[in-house]
Amino acid sequence: PVVLGIESTCDETAAAVVRGKTLLSNVVASSMEEHARYGGVIPEIASRAHAEAFVPVVSKAMKDSGLRLDDLDAIAVSAGPGLAGCLAVGVSGAKALAWTAKKPLYGINHVIGHIAVTQLQFGAFPNDTLALIVSGGHTSLLHVRDIARHVDVVGTTLDDAAGECFDKVARLLGFPYPGGPHIDRHAKLGNAGALKVPMGLTQGRSGQEHPYDFSFSGVKTAVARWVENRQACGADVPVDDVCASLADSVATVLAGKAMKACKRFDSGTLIVGGGFSANSQLRAKLSNEGEKHGIQVRIPELKLCTDNGAMVAVLGANLVEAGVDPSPEDFPINSSMPMDVISL
């Protein structure tokens, strides 16, 4: 099926057209630079930017695909999770477009899109596959029984997401928002054994050790305390070493628990998605561990890791192929959409 995907959950206004698992066009506009001086995304500014970019981005995605609206089998849009004002712009635009073009519309889960997008590079994935989702807002292990119909949450972070942890430490080190990529760059130059960063392990939700949950707020606090102690006694902060130690600790925990979950659910494949999957230390760790355990690790190329329209379009195509009903005309946005909801 030919599907137009529209994305506006945060600071990217994006649209893409796919035919099945083939990408025909992919257009991304970002309001990131407008937020950088505030040290984080300002929802009001992001919403306005979506309102300005929506039509130009969608029309360029259609033009680049060489198709007309009439050629589409369906339209898909991220209905959550994300910033409410941002979601409202994308969903309203998509509803208007679907209504005038008389096309079915799917309100989809952005997070599941981060998993679905790997199909553009690696093809369809087997049922009962394990997925690691790592982004600015989420860090979870999912059991994908059927990408169009059934996803279960196996484990999740009890506090900060991996990307959030990197962004917070980056801020402490004086890097501009978003700091994740800066930590990545400096980590390549440092010694990962320089400081002892606690592992983002957890005691689990109910007190006993839970093998598939994460906790990164202690990691952030430990690094912050170490840096502040150095600063207090007037010593230099070895930025590269701090970054390398942090990155190594986070990547080790994520890869370790992901492998454990693959074993537990008997999955020979690990799907990885979300903005943090752009992280070099995590990519290296996952591919090493995957090789060691005989698990095929599927990580998207960098431009498909961060938010884009292709992830929405390809999940939309999965839904059409599976014969899932389109969303009702009055479907809502859901800024905290649960991860086991695939479409509305």
What residues make contact with Fe ion under the rule CB under 5 A?
Answer: 135, 307
Select 86 or 319, whichever has its Cβ closest to Mg ion: 86
Interface pick for ligand ATP out of 7, 27, 49, 82 (rule CB under 6 A): 82
307 is in an annotated binding site: yes
Give me the least distance between CB of 5 and ligand ATP, in Å please. Answer: 15
Counting contacts by CB under 6 A, is residue 180 touching ligand ATP?
yes
Select 135 or 202, whichever has its Cβ closest to Mg ion: 135
114 is in an annotated binding site: yes
Quote the strand ranges of the chain, DSSP E: 2-7, 12-19, 22-30, 74-80, 105-109, 129-134, 139-146, 150-156, 269-273, 296-298
Tokens of 99: 């209504």
Residue 298 DSSP SS3: strand
Which amino acid does the sequence have at 344?
L
Give me the least distance between CB of 135 and Mg ion, in Å please. Answer: 9
Site string for Mg ion, 289-308 (x = CB under 5 A): ------------------x-
CA atoms within 13 A on the CB side of 13: 27
Interface pick for ligand ATP out of 35, 50, 95, 110 (rule CB under 6 A): 110
Q: Which span (13-21, 233-241, 276-284, 321-329) binds ligand ATP, by CB under 6 A?
A: 276-284
Interface pick for ligand ATP out of 137, 290, 300, 326 (rule CB under 6 A): 137
Residue showing tokens 């561990």: 289
Give me the least distance between CB of 40 and Mg ion, in Å please. Answer: 11
Counting contacts by CB under 6 A, is residue 90 touching ligand ATP?
no
Interface pick for ligand ATP out of 267, 306, 308, 318 (rule CB under 6 A): 306
Backbone angles phi, psi at 76, to 5 degrees: -125, 145
Q: Which span (20-28, 145-153, 163-171, 321-329) binds ligand ATP, by CB under 6 A?
A: 163-171
Give me the least distance between CB of 11 and Mg ion, in Å please. Answer: 5
DSSP 94: H
Closest residue to ligand ATP in the complex (CB):
275
Q: Could you say which residues in the range 84-113 bind Mg ion, by CB under 5 A? A: none
- How far apart CA 281 and CA 275 sit, in angstroms, is 14
**Of 227, 287, 317, 235, which is closest to residue 24 (Cα–Cα)?**
317
**Of 134, 117, 115, 113, which is closest to residue 180 (Cα–Cα)?**
134
DSSP of 32-76: HHHHHTTTS--HHHHHHHHHHHHHHHHHHHHHHHT--GGG-SEEE
Interface pick for Mg ion out of 4, 10, 27, 342 (rule CB under 5 A): 10
Counting contacts by CB under 6 A, is residue 135 touching ligand ATP?
yes
Counting contacts by CB under 6 A, is residue 106 touching ligand ATP?
no
Residue 200 binds which entry of Mg ion, ligand ATP, Fe ion, none, CB below 5-8 Å type-dependent: none
Terminal Cα distance for the chain, rounded: 19
Give me the least distance between CB of 282 and ligand ATP, in Å please. Answer: 8
> Cα angle vertex 61, ends 95, 87, to 5°?
40
Tokens of 171: 């801020």
138 is in an annotated binding site: no
**Of 177, 169, 310, which is closest to residue 246 (Cα–Cα)?**
169
ω into 81 cis (within 30 of 0): yes
Backbone angles phi, psi at 226, to 5 degrees: -60, -45
Q: How many CB atoms lie within 10 A of CB 172?
A: 16
Q: How many CB atoms lie within 10 A of CB 231?
A: 12
CB 43 within 8 A of CB 85: yes
80 is in an annotated binding site: no
Counting contacts by CB under 5 A, is residue 134 touching Mg ion?
no
Between strands 12-19 and 22-30, the pairing is antiparallel
Q: Which residues line the annotated binding site for substrate?
A: 133-137, 167, 180, 184, 279
Q: Which residues line the annotated binding site for Fe cation?
A: 110, 114, 307
Q: Which residues line the annotated binding site?
A: 110, 114, 133-137, 167, 180, 184, 279, 307
Binding footprint of ligand ATP on the chain (CB under 6 A): 9-10, 81-82, 110-111, 114, 135-138, 163, 166-167, 178-181, 183-184, 274-276, 278-279, 306-307
